[in-house]
A and B are shown apart, each in its own frame.
Chain A
Amino acid sequence: MRAKRMARLIGYSLLQAGPVLVVATFMVFALMQLVPGDVAIALAGENATRARVEEIRILYGLDRPILAQYGSWLWKMAQGDMSVSMLSAEPVFDSIQRRLPVTLLVVGLAMLASLAVGIPLGLTAAMHPRRLVDFVVTAFASLGIALPGFWLGMILVSIFAMSLNWFPVSGMAKMATDPWGAVWHAILPAVALAASGAAEVARQTRSALLEIQSSQYMRTLLAKGLPQSQIFWKHGLKNISVTLLTVTGLLFNRLLGGTVVIEAVFAISGMGSLVVTAATGKDYPVIQGVMLTMVVIVVAVNLVIEILYAVFDPRITTR
């Protein structure tokens, strides 16, 4: 019966993710509509001849209705053909493929650090409400949320890379040939990125545990005479895991965005520097490619979380 429920939930979540992907890809496609003036001129370059502009118009199908354009664009994207960069003429798919692992490495490390620091801090604060620990954690969280990650990155560089020489100042090692070197390079960026993440996680964990502690079922568990440790480790943890899953999903989204700025500080050539260069240079295909990749990743992560959610919370049904 449980297997059946799970199968139904997975199917349902996949069905849910479908429309989100359609709308998301349409949004990425429709971004081009924001370009001021004639898109064909923008794509051809300002000095292009009239004939060249018309050629581009036909080539990109800009003369066709927008939904038809979207359809063929999506079809190309689905096949991995993301067109070529207007600046470097490199296929967008190739540069994304090269840069994505670097970004995911930094984000992954930052996720681990945020959760590993944020969850224990939040739990500790909630277990001693209104005590000094609670105050310190809350203050740390407020500070962390207001802290510009890229500025923290600079300070980390000046201390740990320039003065102490513990870590490399910038750049990234080749992941395929030197995986440990890559991790080594990713540590400072991940820390800079994780500060605000850990703060947010600590805050959410704290309020979730406080809410659980004041719930009526916690009172029942006390009235049943369960040992304190069992109440916390069995009931508290399983109940809070539901919240933590949601937090993890939001955290991933947040860190994936934050890494864009952090990559600039550490001169890492990941997705962030790619999209920033593209935005500065009006390289529209690259902008679209990066955004598409990122939204697909986020939707996929959310899908996994949705399914895990159902494992932890029996109340979630397909309705």
Chain B
Amino acid sequence: MAVSSLLDVDNLGIFFETPRGMVPTVSGISFSVRPGERVGIVGESGCGKTVTGLSLLGLLPPQVARVSGRALFEGRNLLTMSRSQLRRLSGAGIGMIFQEPMRALDPVFTIGEQISETLRAHTDVSRREARLRSIAALAEVGIPSPERRYDDYPHILSGGMQQRVMIAMALICRPRLLIADEPTTALDVTVQAQIIDLLHRLSDERGMALLFITHDLGVVAELCTRVLILYAGQIVEDAAIESVYRAPKHPYTAALFQSMPRLSLRGKPLPVIGGRVPGFADMPGGCRFRDRCAYAQPGCVRKPELESYDDRRVRCFRACDLTLPGAV
């Protein structure tokens, strides 16, 4: 498996130094992404999905964040490689796009300059050549009259266009993996769909793998082939998208589906997951979902492991005996 995978994360843990000591935000995260595969990471806000993405490119604030475990990209460990090695890989082998494109683009440089400087940081091309290829990249992500947009500043563009610029910038060096951190959350619904389509198409055309971080199961269903469900800093379910939708095995996954708006629920109140995500500083022992779980048993005070069942991995003692409702 390690041979065929592009990204292989093993036992990733991220800790933050706080006034009350080191607090783990995610722990024991293991998953792999094959070349060209589109994997979604889904969870509520604060579950650790964003820090997981940031940790892979060393983007966590170095003063307070500590990372443990291993993350092999094409066989090389991202978490221990030198700064300059990681720099050469960032943008070239792994691209990344963020939640708020307006704030992710440097406001005082033109979008064209920001794209070509990425290209020129990784390849030995002339200014002219970089400009031409940047314009081509802008055209490819669907920006109209890219020659003219090249000299525009980010604030002139709409949010959707800004995210397209971010995508063009992240993909200009043809990375094998794109980490997308909630790239559609800040956008209108119609624009959201366009960005999802764009990512889908580019990933297909280039055989580029995608790690798509979101809180929206619906978006994942359209885009990804596999999904990791994160709860309170742990993977609770890892499965192919169809099987998760048909029959989730973890009560949390099922609860997420239940709380999604859908037509059959018209006129009825939307079910919500009661209670709150426990804080990382005072995490309960045993199953972390226990207090909010409708299927909890006394045995759940023990710590469940992420175990393989048939086609998937689930972190629940009752994965075998429960039949949970899916989305279909």
Contacts and interface: CB of A to CB of B under 8 A. Distances in A.
Is chain B in direct contact with chain A in the complex (CB below 8 A)? yes
Interface of A: 129-130, 215-217, 219-228, 230, 234-235, 238-239, 242, 312-315
A314 B106 CA distance: 11
B118 A222 contact: no
A227 B91 contact: no
A86 B107 CA distance: 55
B90 interface: yes
Contacts of B88: 225
Interface in B82-126: 83, 87-92, 95-96, 98, 100, 103-109, 117-118, 121-122
Given A217-B104, A235-B109, A239-B108, A223 B57 contact: yes
Pick from B89, B100, B103 the residue with the most CB of A within 10 Å: B103
B59 interface: yes
Given A223-B96, A227-B121, A215 B103 contact: yes
B63 interface: yes
Contacts of B108: 238-239, 242, 312-315
8 contacts: A216-B104, A220-B106, A222-B57, A223-B59, A225-B121, A225-B122, A239-B108, A313-B107
Instruction: Name the 10 nearest CB pairs between A and B, nearest first.
Output: A225-B91, A225-B90, A314-B153, A224-B91, A216-B103, A223-B96, A217-B106, A224-B118, A220-B104, A225-B87
Contacts, number: 82
Contacts of A224: 90-91, 117-118, 121, 169-170
Given A226-B121, A235-B109, A129 B92 contact: no
A130 B117 contact: no
Q: Which interface class (under 10, 10 to 19, 20 to 34, 35 or more) fits B?
A: 20 to 34
Interface of B: 54, 57-59, 63, 83, 87-92, 95-96, 98, 100, 103-109, 117-118, 121-122, 153, 155, 166, 169-170
Contacts of A238: 108-109
Contacts of A216: 98, 100, 103-104
Pick from A129, A220, A313 the residue with the most CB of B within 10 Å: A220
A147 B103 CA distance: 39
A221 B58 CA distance: 12
Contacts of A234: 117
A219 B181 CA distance: 13
Given A220-B105, A227-B121, A314 B63 contact: no
A80 B145 CA distance: 55
Pick from A129, A224, A313, A315 the residue with the most CB of B within 10 Å: A224
A220 B155 contact: no
A289 B166 CA distance: 56
A215 B59 CA distance: 12
B106 A239 contact: yes
Contact of B63 (A130, A222, A312): A130
Contacts of A215: 103
Given A216-B100, A219-B98, A314-B153, A226 B105 contact: no
Nearest to B89: A225
A242 B108 CA distance: 9
Contacts of B63: 129-130
A217 B153 CA distance: 14
A228 B106 CA distance: 15
A108 B155 CA distance: 36
Given A129-B63, A239-B107, A313-B107, 14 more contacts: A217-B107, A219-B98, A220-B104, A220-B166, A222-B90, A223-B95, A224-B91, A224-B170, A225-B90, A225-B91, A228-B87, A230-B117, A235-B109, A314-B108
Contacts of A314: 107-108, 153, 155
A222 B98 CA distance: 13
Contacts of A312: 108
Nearest to A215: B103
Pick from B63, B103, B108, B122 the residue with the most CB of A within 10 Å: B108
Contacts of A219: 54, 59, 98, 104
B302 to A, nearest CB: 39
Given A217-B107, A235-B109, A314-B108, A225 B155 contact: no
A225 B118 contact: yes
Contacts of B122: 225
A223 B107 contact: no
Contacts of A225: 87-92, 118, 121-122
A221 B106 CA distance: 8
Contacts of A220: 96, 98, 104-106, 166
Pick from A220, A225, A230, A313 the residue with the most CB of B within 10 Å: A225
Contacts of B96: 220, 223
B150 to A, nearest CB: 13
Contacts of A226: 87, 91, 117-118, 121
B106 A235 contact: yes
B87 to A, nearest CB: 5
Contact of A227 (B58, B87, B166): B87
Contacts of B166: 220
Nearest to A218: B106
A315 B154 CA distance: 9
Contacts of B155: 314-315
Contacts of A223: 57, 59, 90-91, 95-96, 170
A130 B63 CA distance: 10
A219 B65 CA distance: 15
Contacts of B54: 219
